[in-house]
Every structure is written in C-alpha cells, then in structure tokens.
A and B are shown apart, each in its own frame.
Chain A
Amino acid sequence: MPENDPIKRLLAAIAFANDQAAYKELFMLLHGRLKQFAYSILKSQEEAEELVSDLFIRVWEKRDQLTSIESPLLYFYTTAKNLAFNRLKQQKRQQNASPEEWLVQLNSIYFDPEQLMMTEEMMRQIRQAINNLPPRCRIIFKLVKEDGLKYKEVAELLQLSVKTIEAQMAIALRRLGKCMQLEIKELNISTPATKKS
C-alpha cells in the first residue's frame, strides 16, 4: 500500500536530481491504483491508461513544484479525478461524474487459507457482502483499504465530510462482521471523546 513519505522521497529525487530511476519507481508504485481509479470514472481501460500517462507527463513537467505538496497521494488522485472529469465533459458524459455512477473494482479481499480461519461458506458471504456494498461505501472502502488514503484525504477527494467517511467505513466493516456472526449489541459503556478531524 503506497504511503506519502516514500512518495515524497521519490518526488524530491525527481525534482532535485532529474532521477529517472525514481520517476520509473514512482510510476510502477502508483500506475495500477491510479489506472483503476481512472477506470472507475471513465469505464474505459484505454482511456484510463492514457490518463495515467498524461498525469505522469505532468509530474515530470511540474516536478519542481511537487516537492512542497503535503499529501502527494491526494494530489495524484485529485489530478486523476480532474483529468477524468475533463474527458467526460469533452465527451458530454458528465452524468457519469457522480461517485454513485463509478464502477469500482475491489481486488484486495484476498483469502489466504494459511492465514484466515474461515469456512468456504463464510468466504462466499464476505464476497457477496463486498459486492453488495453501496457504490459510495465501496469507493470509500477501496480508497482507504487498497489505496492507503487517510479519511481526511478521502473526504477532500470526494468532497464529503470526515464524519461521512467514518460512517461509511463503519457500514462496510459491520457488513463484513455480520458474515462472521459478529453482532454487536447496544453496550452500556461510555465512549471516549473521539478526536475531531
């Protein structure tokens, strides 16, 4: 899962030393995830591939300006989203721009039989629960679990509140918990004050 700090180091090497190896490493690190994200909006593998290439051309051309970015991951996803929206606008397909219309591929629910002590039936239920997540919940779950974005970054990317991200993540985990017969009843315990995001 990519994180901001290694990406910052690669961006610094690209900006200050024209480091081609760092540029290629960054491409390899983010290409698959960004392509899937772009595909979810554009619904075309070819266009998603071209979009990621456009994005990385922009990275090279603006490399001097990218070292001061606080969250490079958010920058990459926001740029991918904006480039995808521009394409939809050019093609007069703006109706596909809403996250409810995005075609999100979840591929990290991976069952390692050596690690997970689950029955076949439980795995089937989990797959079904994942596939049946509401579209917005699905994209939020993917961005947090697979793409490594923080709640605050997902909120900014999708223009939602952090509380909405918390609630959607809770829905996703509760549905998965149900598949494992984990039902949490109302508890007589006072919760700690949650930190404000």
Chain B
Amino acid sequence: MSQEQFWVLFSKKLSGEASAEELAFLESMIQSHPEWQYAIQNLTDLWRSQPAEDTSAGEDALMLHLHRMNELNISLDGNSQEIQVSTGPVKKLKRWYWAAAVLLVMAGLFSIRSLSGSSNPGDEVAGQVNEISTRPGNVIKLRG
C-alpha cells in the first residue's frame, strides 16, 4: 500500500465515507504501528473539534431577511403576494361610504322636490288672489 492510499483511507474514515472493510483494514494497520498513535489521535481530535458557533450574526440576518420578505409582500402565513391591510381603516372607510350615500340620497330627494316645486308654482300661492289690470277702470280678479 502506498502512503497516498493510507491517507485516502484515513480521510475517508474521518469524513464517514469508509466502508466496513476499509475501516477494519485501516484499524489493523494503525494498531500494528504504535508510533503513529499520537499523531493519529491528534488528527482525529482536530477533525472533530469545532469552535462554538456565534448565533447573534444569524439572528440579525434572519431579522433582516424577514423584513425583506415583508417588503416584497411575501407572507409567511402561506398567502404569498397578498397585500396586508389592517382592518381599522377599512371600517372607517366603510362608514364614510355610508354617510356619503345617505347625503347623496337626501340631496337627490331635495332636488326632486325642488324640481317638482318649480313645475307647480301655484302651490306656494294657492289661495292668493291676483289682480290684472287691462285698461284703466277694468280689473280682472284671478283665483288660483
């Protein structure tokens, strides 16, 4: 076996890629070379050692990411591309619609009444007596 093959097998062992047969072969070889033990153990420990992860950077990034999704109107509720509008202003808007509609109806009624009033001006002067002078001395009395 070449030294390259040893390192291929050893790196496969560390990364969990070695077969059972390869592992058994490697172990028997390492055991037959006690002078390797120290280095092999240190390499194995070095491979396994991991620095503690700093989660604060990830938390900041997550906050920015969620803010960005919100800006793009992507909702995490599963309703993508839905524009979020709070219910408060909608209710107020509805009230204004109703008020405007009532005013319009009232204005409409008023104008109909006014129009109908102008077509029968006699209503306002009902009961009044009008006089028309035709020539001096002749007076015609009109009753509405």
Cβ contacts A164-197/B at 8 Å (1 or 0 each): 0011011111101100111111111111111100
Determine the chain A residues whose CB is within 8 A of the CB of B24 once the complex forms. Answer: 192
- How many residues of B sit at the interface, in one of the four size bands? 35 or more
State which of B47-55, B83-91, B121-129 sits at the interface with chain A: B47-55
For chain A residues 103-147, which have a beta carbon within 8 Å of chain B? 107-112, 115-118, 126, 144-145
The majority secondary structure among interface residues of chain B is: helix
Q: How far is the CA of A107 from the CA of B53 in the complex (A)?
A: 11
Determine the chain A residues whose CB is within 8 A of the CB of B78 once the complex forms. Answer: 18
Cβ contacts A148-171/B at 8 Å (1 or 0 each): 001100000000000000110111
State which of A50-58, A66-74, A77-85, A88-96 sits at the interface with chain B: A50-58
Contact A191 B68 (CB under 8 A): no
A27 within 8 A of B: yes
- Residue among B2, B6, B21, B76 with max Cβ neighbours from chain A (10 Å): B6
Determine the chain A residues whose CB is within 8 A of the CB of B42 once the complex forms. Answer: 116-118, 180
Contact A56 B65 (CB under 8 A): yes
Contact A35 B61 (CB under 8 A): yes
A49 within 8 A of B: yes
Knowing A28-B55, A28-B62, A118-B42, the reply to whether A144 touches B69 (Cβ < 8 A) is no
Contact B77 A18 (CB under 8 A): yes
Determine the chain B residues whose CB is within 8 A of the CB of A27 once the complex forms. Answer: 58, 61-62, 65
Name the residue of chain A whose CB is nearest to the CB of B25.
A192
Knowing A49-B61, A57-B74, the reply to whether A184 touches B3 (Cβ < 8 A) is yes
Q: How far is the CA of A13 from the CA of B17 in the complex (A)?
A: 29
Determine the chain A residues whose CB is within 8 A of the CB of B80 once the complex forms. Answer: 60-61
B109 within 8 A of A: no
- Residue among B29, B65, B68 with max Cβ neighbours from chain A (10 Å): B65
Q: How far is the CA of A186 from the CA of B3 in the complex (A)?
A: 6
Name the residue of chain A whose CB is nearest to the CB of B28.
A189
Cβ contacts B29-40/A at 8 Å (1 or 0 each): 100000010111
Determine the chain B residues whose CB is within 8 A of the CB of A108 once the complex forms. Answer: 49-51
Contact B61 A167 (CB under 8 A): no
**Interface residues of B, Cβ cutoff 8 Å to A:** 1-12, 14-15, 17, 19, 21-22, 24-25, 29, 36, 38-40, 42-43, 45-47, 49-51, 53, 55, 57-59, 61-62, 64-65, 68-69, 72, 74, 76-78, 80
The 10 lowest CB-CB distance pairs between A and B, nearest first, are: A182-B39, A170-B7, A180-B39, A169-B11, A184-B3, A18-B78, A110-B51, A170-B8, A173-B11, A174-B7
25 cross-chain CB contacts under 8 A: A18-B78, A23-B76, A24-B62, A27-B61, A32-B57, A49-B61, A56-B65, A60-B69, A108-B49, A110-B50, A111-B49, A116-B42, A118-B42, A151-B15, A167-B8, A170-B10, A171-B7, A173-B11, A176-B46, A180-B38, A180-B39, A183-B3, A184-B36, A186-B3, A194-B8
